[in-house]
């Protein structure tokens, strides 16, 4: 999306428009995330949970094996962002039905796998402590009286 679509937010130095997928580092923690199309595309071909699909794509080192056939992608000349060259510490897929997490025990590194719920449907965000890798969800729902009902749930 172009910055002109966010006239006020784009004035902030901390506003970053990023690609899908996107990989970044924070305090020596590598985080890889997708908006979830890769997971949803694979679910049409197999009877696996989103976490199982994340684990399979991590093990195959290809985060979108159905691209470009059923998961849209662009051709790349030199290097594909869909092929994993390094193992992330955290790997997540957004726009899922619910928050789930598991720790994948790898031969050299452990990877925290997360499914992040679609905010427009679940009204939840996921908070992760970088030091402990513990996650919690925060709900921004509305109760039956129309009052904001914020709940933090530790997972």
pLDDT lower than 50: segments of the chain: 155
pLDDT computed for residue 155 by the predictor: 47
The owner of tokens 């402990």 is 132
pLDDT for 69 equals 53
CA 6 from chain centre, in angstroms, equals 22
- Sequence ranges of the domains in the chain: 21-68+83-121
CA proximity to 117, closest of 3, 39, 6:
39
CA-to-CA separations, 100 to 51, 52, 135, 136, in angstroms, rounded = 7, 11, 10, 10
Output the pLDDT for position 63: 81
DSSP 15-32: -----SSEEEEETTEEEE
SS3 (DSSP) at 2: coil
Q: Cα separation of 154 and 90, whole Å? A: 18
What's the rounded Cα separation, in Å, for the pair 93 and 101?
Answer: 11
Q: Quick check: 106 and 112 in contact, CB under 8 A?
A: no
For residue 84, the model assigns a pLDDT of: 82
Q: How far apart are CA 59 and CA 105, in angstroms?
A: 11
pLDDT of residue 114: 97
Compute the distance between CA of residue 63 and CA of residue 83 in angstroms, rounded to an integer: 6
**Under 8 Å between Cβ of 135 and 123:** no
């Amino acid at each position: 999306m172009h910055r002109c679509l966010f006239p006020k937010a784009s004035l902030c130095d901390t506003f970053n428009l990023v690609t899908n997928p996107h990989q970044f580092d924070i305090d020596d923690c590598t985080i890889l995330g997708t908006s979830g199309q890769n997971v949803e595309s694979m679910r049409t071909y197999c009877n696996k949970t989103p976490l199982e699909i994340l684990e399979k794509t991590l093990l195959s080192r290809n985060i979108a094996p159905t691209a470009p056939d059923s998961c849209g992608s662009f051709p790349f000349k030199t290097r594909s962002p869909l092929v994993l060259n390094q193992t992330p510490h955290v790997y997540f897929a957004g726009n899922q039905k619910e928050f789930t997490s598991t720790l994948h025990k790898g031969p050299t590194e452990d990877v925290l796998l997360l499914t992040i719920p679609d905010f427009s449907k679940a009204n939840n965000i996921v908070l992760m402590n970088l030091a402990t890798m513990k996650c919690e969800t925060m709900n921004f729902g509305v109760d039956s009286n129309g009052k904001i009902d914020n709940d933090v749930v530790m997972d």
